[in-house]
Chain A
Amino acid sequence: MNISNDLKKTCNRYRKELFEKFLEVGQGHPGSVFSMTEIAVTLFHKSFIRFDELKNSFKDKIIVSKGHATVSLYPILRDFGVIKNQEWENWGKKGKDSILRVFGNTSIPGIDATSGSLGHGLGIGCGMAYLYKKKNLDKKVYVIISEGELYEGSTWEALLFASHHKLTNLTVVIDENSLIILGKTDDCLKLDPILKKIQGFDFDVSQVNGHDLNELENAFNKKTEGTNIVLAKTVKGKGFSIMENKAHWHYWNSLNPEEIEICRKEIGQ
């Protein structure tokens, strides 16, 4: 296991590694991956998602419902030894095979649900959490959704279910970077006030800076009477000025050598 106590440095290391990997793979969704880096790091490295070393697997479940950002978990899962280093190394290299994909699926160790089409992950998480609650199992479920998934009706259907059954073992993180593919959510089709809408379900909602590790940790530690909802305000493409808050960086774009150099400098290479 390659676990550091300095989680800010860990986040930075993952951004560096993922940036280099995007260059190799030549595709993917860096804007969304980098917006949830701190969220994923806090969940895994602060042991909200508990690791069983004997079984080399996690006791709790994580579903990245915004499946285009599942890639953000790969270096973490590699560091825990769940994904073999060779799989990570091979990914994106010509002539080499790897189980890793731009969208995660259940054939990849540590990926608990196949995702990619938006709006499914919360319902899946609800099913798991419902079962654990009914069976009194000490297992938790963390679902990361994008705010864009609030456009999907099935997300609201699942919220109804979570609220009705008071799924206290379920935490939903809404990664709110205010951008979807065609622009700002406010311009495309307004989602606000998200907080009020979610509170309307009688959920206890925390609003946090999604890049502040302490705020995230406090929100995940919060004792709630129902499902714990964390509204994490984030920056799409966080860490790279070329990408930050730019809708077109939802997808990977080719970079010229100067731009690559700028990116590398910004993350300290």
Chain B
Amino acid sequence: MKLQRDVFLDEINKQLEIDKDIYVMSADFGAAALDYTREKFKDNFIHCGISEQAMFDIATGLALEEKKVLTYAMGPFISLRALEQIKCGPAMMSLPMTILSVGIGLGYADAGPTHYATEDYACLRAVGGTTIYTASDNNIAIEIAKNTFKDKSLNYVRLDRHPTDEVNFKPNQYDFNDGFRIFGDCSENKFAIISHGRILKNCLKSLKQLENNFFLVDLFRSKPISKNLINLLKNVKKIIVVDEQTQYGNLTTAVQSELSNNNLFPQVKNLSLPDEYIFQNGGRDFLLQKYNLDEDSILNFCKKIL
């Protein structure tokens, strides 16, 4: 199975065939599809060295000249290392740009917390004017890539490091502009599980076993959150938000904030990583189990709140 980064960059490569205003920049982070970009579109690829900060300043210079820039690096480094460059460059000058961040959450287990992007969402969400996408499977990664230069905004795109299972969702069953997909029956008085990214698949088991009571939302665009989703959540019993991020500033806070802005105050439960840096080995799935973010833990949590 192809990686999310490859299907995303394959789509960008297709666009590069006809649009020479696209520039792909890497801070020494690779992908099979990027090898093709480097070979086929030499004039549109810039290696910035292992210099995330300069990459964003240089990207800003290109964007000021109305080029469509995609910056690419590993999640923890492209987000936090260059946060001020993102703020002072594309964000402050309202320049369109795509920030492609790979390896979110504990994707780089067992490399340890230097390589985990467990607070990137909170940081980029706080930057003014960002639009944030998180791909749960390749289909949605491709859709994000197709749209990323169309909306002329500062897009922070979060992809998983590992192959992700397709969630068997046909493109015509949702509106990309809404930024979410629904699994299950979302009629009134149900419980809603909201998630994004690879961890969404860990929620599917709960849905399968408790589908009379639950529906699942793949919130692939979590900033801004669609009004249509808020309307949908008006009549739910409770909401569980599952996120492979630390608690403060994660998807739960984003959902709560948007609900509150709309004078809605349902009970929202947070399932996420602890407020600490994780050094323990054992692999990603082991760590998710330890922190109650595996399929069974999420299912048990859902059963408890029924």
Contacts and interface: CB of A to CB of B under 8 A. Distances in A.
Interface in A77-126: 105-106, 112-117, 119-126
Contacts of A131: 61-62, 65, 67
Interface residues of A, number: 28
Contact of A120 (B43, B62, B65, B85): B85
Interface in B47-82: 48-49, 51, 53-54, 56-65, 67
A123 B46 CA distance: 13
A14 B173 CA distance: 64
A125 B61 contact: yes
A158 B63 CA distance: 16
A116 B53 CA distance: 16
Contacts of B306: none
B64 A120 contact: no
A183 interface: no
A240 interface: no
A154 B93 contact: no
A127 B57 contact: yes
A157 interface: yes
Chain A binding surface, main DSSP class: helix
A127 B53 contact: no
Interface in A109-156: 112-117, 119-131, 134, 153-154
Interface string B81-107: 000110011001100000000000000
Given A114-B92, A154-B54, A124 B49 contact: no
A194 interface: no
Nearest to A139: B65
A127 B49 contact: no
Contacts of A124: 57-58, 60-61, 64, 89
A134 B43 contact: yes
A161 interface: yes
Max chain B Cβ within 10 angstroms of own Cβ: one of A105, A130, A134, A154 = A154
Interface of A: 105-106, 112-117, 119-131, 134, 153-154, 157-158, 160-161
Closest 5 CB pairs of A and B: A127-B61, A123-B57, A157-B54, A157-B51, A127-B58
